[in-house]
Amino acid sequence: MRARDPKQEQPLFSPETRAALRRELGPDAHAQARVRGALWSHVATGSLSPAAQRIDALLQAKASATATQAAGTASIKTTLAATVHSVTGKVILVGILVGGAGTAAVMRSAPASDHAAVAKPQLAAPMLERTSPASDHAAVAKPQLAAPMLERTSPASEYAAVAKPQHTAPMLEVAVHPETPAAPLPEPDLGATPLPAAPPHTTAAAPRSQHQRRERTPQTRSLERAPAVSSEAPAAPQQVTSSSSPPQEQLAENVQAPTAPEPRPQHELGAELQLVRAASDALQRRDTDSALAQLQRHAALFPRGALRVEVEALRAIALCLAESDDSAAVSGRFLELHASGPLAERVRRACRPR
Amino acid sequence: VNAPDAYFTQLYEEHFDFVWRSVRMLGVAAETADDAAQDVFVVAHRRLADFEGRSLPRTWLFAIAVRVVKDYRRSRRRKMRLLDRVMHMDREPANTPFDAALGSERRDTVLCALEALADEQRAVFVLADIEELSAPEIAQALEVKLNTVYSRLRSARKIMAERLAQLSQDKLLDDPESV
């Protein structure tokens, strides 16, 4: 069934409004630099916020499940390939014995050529990975790189061309290793195939299993990209060198053995809540000294607590109720940082000039 | 501090604005949007090996952003429930963003209207009607079928249109001279 184009249905906003909204809803001019500092530090140390930990664990589990599924699929493919080899070998043997004219046709569709066709995207992929993100996309968007080979082969090889490159790794292993019992045929196409001059790491990486590929860290990916990058951009090898320092190992450990998300202990949030409740109760009694003492205690015990924004709001309210000299500065800072937050109006109301 | 490699740096620089804007439109408050955007890129850096170019970097990052935002919103809802119990606070502020002129508050109006959408509808609407991604790209980013994208977009547009009309009406009632 041909799906409808959503653009045919009327969008709510005109193109000009959409562009304006993108501008208005975007970050301020300093946000990128602001986040970059903290982000680079996180990347270097491998530390994660609780939210990032949870999402990372979730995606790790998803990737593992996909890898397991792919490994199962690859295993079936290997078995199928072996069966085809075996059957084809028998057919050729019969053909040779009989001297029939169909032998050549059978040989043209022999699975060895499939393997050669499969090998090509496998080898081509790392070459493309070394380039920009746009060409990463191109690696998949342009399967015609391997198409000339595939066109000569049978429908079975078309299937191989559709399959994701990493799924083909085990099949490649069957094709390359001569000791594989299920490959009685010589490998005429494989030997004759003009394989691209791949760097040594590519050749070594080719027979790796899907699971091993999944285990790569971003740093190892960088290392694998290094040769081509270095030929194009001299700055890249320095980054590769620096990324192999101890923090990189620490990162690699984190990726290979991801720690389970560490949720904030319930008792900690409970303790925070207790202090906030005490401060709130004190404010309702107009006992600002007691409220401020509770809030001060919270700040000392939980400098990065989950309720620190609320504590700041209560502190501003308490100072305003106490008509403290600090009230203007504290409430002003809070409203500057949280102008549209749910507590802003409450702070504004408490700190309104009387 | 060891800097991430050139590939990741490029990814960050090219898509930071998009990621920040996305987390904001998906419902993260302005004051925590920096943190959420950072979390998206932290996760992206760790999962870079999983990104094999089957999708655009933008849709891949958006898929991570959707998960991060969901986590943020869940935490925030939980926190707000607890706080409401503890502090007996008013849920709604006395003033709404629509007291000001609708034209100058377009951003807030849209953000407010987006609140009316379910998370799934909101993601599709943001990508289609603000970020201008194609339906197949959206389907890939959200890992849903193409027809699901269309049906969610239709319902999201309907709700958004109603909500925006309602907000305009409220504005008119509050301040007839402003329109």
Average pLDDT over residues A19-25: 84
B145 vs A contacts (CB less than 8 Å): none
Alpha-carbon distance of B16 to B18, in angstroms, equals 5
Query: Which one of A17, A43, A307 makes the best mutation probe of the B interface by having the most chain B beta carbons within 10 Å?
Result: A43
- Between chain A and chain B, the number of residue pairs with CB atoms below 8 A apart is 231
pLDDT band of residue A32 (cuts 50, 70, 90) is confident
| Separation in Å, CA A180 to CA A74, A177, A185 | 16, 6, 11
pLDDT over 70 at A60, yes or no:
yes
CB spacing of B153 vs A136 below 8 angstroms:
no
Over residues B95-146, the pLDDT tens digits come to 333 333 335 577 778 888 898 899 999 999 999 988 888 888 888 888 899 8
Percentage, residues of chain A above pLDDT 90 = 2
- A244/B contact by beta carbon, under 8 A: no
- A61/B contact by beta carbon, under 8 A: no
For residue B175, the 8-state DSSP code is -
- String of b and e for A126-141 (b: at least 16 CB within 10 Å)? bbbbbbebeebbebbe
Q: Which of B12, B64, B130 sits opposite A55 (nearest CB)?
A: B64
B35 vs A contacts (CB less than 8 Å): 49
- A104/B contact by beta carbon, under 8 A: no
Q: Which residue has the tokens 């061309």?
A: A161
Q: How many CA atoms lie within 13 A of B139 on its CB side?
A: 14
Alpha-carbon distance of B61 to B51, in angstroms, equals 10
Query: Which one of B22, B25, B83 makes the best mutation probe of the A interface by having the most chain A beta carbons within 10 Å?
Result: B83
ipTM for the assembly: 0.72
Q: Which of B39, B95, B150 sits opposite A52 (nearest CB)?
A: B39
Q: SS3 letters for chain A?
A: CCCCCHHHCCCCCCHHHHHHHHHHHCCCCCHHHHHHHHHHHHHHHCCCCHHHHHHHHHHHHHHHHHHHHHHHHHHHHHHHHHHHHHHHHHHHHHHHHHCCCCHHHHHHCCHHHHHHHHHHHHHHHHHHHCCCHHHHHHHHHCHHHCHHHHHCCCHHHHHHHHCCHHHHHHHHHHHHCCCCCCCCCCCHHHHHCCCCCCCHHHHHHCCCCHHHHHCCCHHHHHHHHHHHHHHHCCCHHHHHHHCCCHHHHHHHHHHHCCCCCCCCCHHHHHHHHHHHHHHHHHHHCCCHHHHHHHHHHHHHHCCCCCCHHHHHHHHHHHHHHCCCCCHHHHHHHHHHHCCCCCCHHHHHHHCCCC
Q: Which of B12, B17, B87 sits opposite A280 (nearest CB)?
A: B87
pLDDT value of position B81: 53
**Which tops the pLDDT comparison, B147 or A142?**
B147
Over residues A217-275, the pLDDT tens digits come to 333 333 333 333 333 333 333 333 333 333 444 433 443 444 444 444 456 777 888 88
- B164/A contact by beta carbon, under 8 A: yes
| Residue in chain A nearest B25 by alpha carbon | A25
| Least confident among A63-72, A126-135, A278-287, B32-41 | A126-135
CB spacing of B1 vs A41 below 8 angstroms:
yes
Alpha-carbon distance of A173 to A207, in angstroms, equals 5
Q: Which residue has the tokens 């059978």?
A: A106
Cβ-based neighbour number of residue B151 at 10 Å: 14
Most confident of A83-87, A139-143, B102-106, B110-114: B110-114
Over residues A193-203, the pLDDT tens digits come to 333 333 333 33
CB spacing of A310 vs B87 below 8 angstroms:
yes
Cβ atoms A283, A310 nearer than 8 A: no
Cβ-proximal residues to A122 (8 Å cutoff; 6+ apart), any chain: A165, A166, A168, A169, A172, A206
A13 vs B contacts (CB less than 8 Å): 129-130
Cβ-proximal residues to A71 (8 Å cutoff; 6+ apart), any chain: A209, A210, A211
- B87/A contact by beta carbon, under 8 A: yes
pLDDT band of residue A80 (cuts 50, 70, 90) is low
Alpha-carbon distance of A314 to A308, in angstroms, equals 10
Rounded to the nearest angstrom, the gap between the alpha carbon of residue A49 and the centroid of all alpha carbons in its chain is: 17
Alpha-carbon distance of A27 to A34, in angstroms, equals 11
CB spacing of A307 vs B83 below 8 angstroms:
yes
pLDDT over 50 at A307, yes or no:
yes
B146 vs A contacts (CB less than 8 Å): 3
| Separation in Å, CA B12 to CA A39, A40, A170, B7 | 10, 11, 34, 9
Looking at chain B, list the stretches that DSSP marks H as alpha helix, in order from N- to C-terminal side. Answer: 6-25, 30-46, 57-87, 106-114, 119-125, 135-142, 146-174
pLDDT over 50 at A208, yes or no:
no
pTM: 0.41
Phi and psi angles of residue A235, each rounded to the nearest 5 degrees, phi first: -75, -25
Cβ-based neighbour number of residue A226 at 10 Å: 20
pLDDT band of residue A79 (cuts 50, 70, 90) is low
